[in-house]
A and B are shown apart, each in its own frame.
Chain A
């Protein structure tokens, strides 16, 4: 151990119970108890935590081939592809609450009015497919990105779906992940998106959920990751980056808190940790204390991590706890790509898909919608260790640098 603090500590560090966590996550893929019915609409996020968690644990081999296929098929079953006369609501649903079991064509047609893609479900669904090695061939990328552009608000923010949703930084992030993963930005207005993010930088240099709300660790991650994924991170000037880093670094107590003067919580080891990775500052944190806190929320009996010690573990905190540990180089865990929140291995697979698509659009017809996309020039180049280098020529915008609000 090179860390000077640890040398005084004679006790063995607590082990991460890798196989228990894997079994814990695997269980969630099968059947969930009735008490989780209020998560009905976000079932695909539970698939995401379980599948991506198993991936980070290097344990996807525990998912039998049939179950793997069932997951892929179930995810694709949530795909909404609007017809020409319908709203641009393309994307994935996170559940089947609006899908009726009937052969009556009128009933099926009627229910379509309430079947909409949802940005968070679209993001997690695509991430699951990529993690499982799917080639995304069953996706109409244009229809999905049309759906993303359709929920962008004039002020640059995004709603989750075409009707009935609030708009805020969470969906700005999801929009950026979807366009980045599909290597296509279509009609999404990146400049307006940047302006919304810039307006949400607070006086203490964290980002708020929207505009003048309180700075928050989760939304700061969403803001920074969206900037990186859209090739706009370089638009933050150096002084601003240093102040954001300060706000993030100050969130560490032992584990990390989400806001000043709030209790620490396992999930912020990811949100704050990933934000610092994006700004190239994670190595400035105290790894041992971070690990110690995350491990104090480990359930040694059934596996999984909780938000607090002695609390009940859940897939959300289990996955984010594992990612938080992965940033510190925990043995047995694979590297995590911070801004997409998936394993580096999955990200490498995604980059391979991008190469294939780009080659195809080059040799393909000139009238291919995706070929005329400017997305190709706007992409981030990510090195293997996750360090992001935005191409300096990426944005055509001349807007001023970001300033706190």
Chain B
């Protein structure tokens, strides 16, 4: 829960609305919080006055330049007031305002409130009204890179929307690669990579290329859940290989070599558990029992050594496989 500090926005030259001659025709309209309000906010004098004027303007439906300026003040004090944002849009439509000016204003507001839902929604509506998303990649790049939070959910969501709606995929893979290069544990960037690749379609060539990409990243940082999830996700999503880990021998070999070399990352181990489980459950395989024993052994190692916090889970995984194998052998006998 953030705090709002209006002084830093409004500066020292603040003149109360009641002392502004151009507002003398408006009677402020106080809020009716009921006879015995709860969770009352001890509004500052400034907050109270600005919203008293805001209500007065909304009540008479005035849509003017001064009303627009008033929403600017109100939204600085409370950028989460979605009704004021809506009223601002109603004013912009009525005045047929230059929406590029609004975009510039919003770039500044988003810079200060990059985790506020309402500002991003307003941005989206304005971009839709303009039917021009040429500034959106730069805006979100600023929010992700220059503002220091490369995992800002709002910025990624807005970026995906702009790319999807206005077909801006062309340079996205290199942007994503740059972010993954800067921080290989940036899960948001990996997700974005999946989004772009899926748009192009999982052709066998592209799948192989992405598997190599993920394996190369894992070679650098082995204990990285994001890269492992991507690797498995690509395999499971592509029709090529029927979504089975076992049908991608290069990946199987890669994982088994890592294990042979002594790596015990829980993500590698989880991959192997899934792989051997998949093999054990394939009906036609002769060494089912041997594969199952591998799963049980790995689950034990996870529980006792490499992933102790999830010990109950790995025991559950082993038991779950036992149940499945029992069921399938019962079915085979029936």
Give A contacts to B, CB under 8 Å.
5, 28-44, 46-47, 50, 67, 70-71, 73-74, 77, 96-102, 107, 110-111, 114, 116, 118, 160-161, 163-166, 202-204, 208-216, 242, 246, 249-250, 252-254, 259-262, 281, 283-286, 289, 314-316, 404-405
Contacts and interface: CB of A to CB of B under 8 A. Distances in A.
A47 B6 CA distance: 25
Which among A40, A118, A252 has the greatest number of chain B C-beta atoms within 10 A? A40
A34 B42 contact: yes
Interface of B: 1-6, 29-44, 47, 51, 55, 58-61, 77-87, 89, 117, 120-121, 124, 151, 153, 156-157, 160, 164, 185-188, 191, 194-195, 198, 224-226, 229-230, 232-234, 236-237, 270, 308-313, 316, 320
Given A164-B86, A260-B229, A286-B310, A107 B29 contact: yes
Contacts of B117: 166
B316 A284 contact: yes
B275 to A, nearest CB: 14
A99 B31 contact: yes
Most buried by B among A74, A161, A405: A74
Contact of B34 (A44, A73, A165): A73
Contacts of B229: 203-204, 260
Contacts of A107: 29, 59-60
A24 to B, nearest CB: 14
Given A110-B60, A164-B85, A32 B42 contact: yes
Contacts of A98: 55, 58, 83
A96 B55 contact: no
B34 A203 contact: no
A42 B1 CA distance: 11
A230 B119 CA distance: 31
Contacts of A43: 39, 41
Most interface-central of A100, A163, A405 (chain B CB within 10 A): A100
B83 A38 contact: no
25 contacts: A28-B39, A31-B40, A31-B41, A33-B41, A37-B43, A38-B4, A41-B82, A44-B39, A96-B31, A96-B32, A96-B34, A96-B37, A98-B83, A101-B29, A107-B59, A111-B58, A164-B85, A164-B86, A165-B121, A212-B194, A260-B229, A261-B187, A284-B313, A286-B309, A316-B1
A247 to B, nearest CB: 8
B120 A166 contact: yes
Given A41-B81, A107-B59, A404-B237, A213 B30 contact: no
Given A96-B34, A97-B83, A404-B237, A212 B198 contact: yes
A100 B59 CA distance: 9
Nearest to A254: B309
A43 B31 CA distance: 14
Contacts of B232: 204
A40 B84 CA distance: 12
A213 B55 contact: no
A272 B76 CA distance: 34
Contacts of A30: 38-40
Contact of B87 (A31, A38, A114, A246): A114
A46 B39 contact: yes
Across the A-B interface, give the 6 residue pairs with the lowest CB-CB distance, nearest first: A203-B233, A164-B86, A38-B4, A101-B32, A35-B3, A261-B185
A100 B31 contact: yes
Contacts of A203: 194, 229-230, 233-234, 236-237
Contacts of A28: 39
Contacts of A284: 310, 312-313, 316
B189 to A, nearest CB: 9
A111 B56 CA distance: 9
Contacts of B194: 202-203, 212
B208 to A, nearest CB: 17
Contacts of B1: 36, 39, 314-316
A216 B188 CA distance: 10
B331 to A, nearest CB: 15
A111 B309 contact: no
A70 B310 CA distance: 46
A74 B34 contact: yes
B160 A212 contact: yes
Give the most central of A36, A42, A242: most B CB within 10 Å.
Answer: A36
A160 B86 CA distance: 13
Contacts of A31: 40-42
A404 B236 contact: yes
A273 to B, nearest CB: 14
A160 B84 CA distance: 15
Given A74-B34, A110-B60, A250-B225, A38 B3 contact: yes
Contacts of B230: 203-204
Given A110-B59, A110-B61, 11 more contacts: A34-B42, A40-B78, A74-B33, A74-B38, A96-B31, A101-B31, A118-B82, A164-B82, A166-B124, A202-B191, A261-B224
Contact of A73 (B36, B43, B157): B36
B79 A47 contact: no
Given A97-B81, A98-B83, A216-B153, A249 B39 contact: no
Contacts of B311: 286
B233 A404 contact: yes
A35 B5 contact: yes
A164 B310 contact: no
A29 to B, nearest CB: 5
B40 A102 contact: no
A184 B246 CA distance: 47
Given A40-B81, A216-B153, A242-B320, A34 B43 contact: yes
A252 B83 contact: no
A204 B233 contact: yes
Nearest to B313: A284
Contact of A214 (B187, B313, B316): B187
Given A29-B39, A98-B58, A209-B153, A38 B34 contact: no
Nearest to B309: A286
Contact of B151 (A253, A259, A314, A316): A259
B313 A29 contact: no
A166 B121 contact: yes
A283 B59 contact: no
A204 B2 CA distance: 31
B305 to A, nearest CB: 14
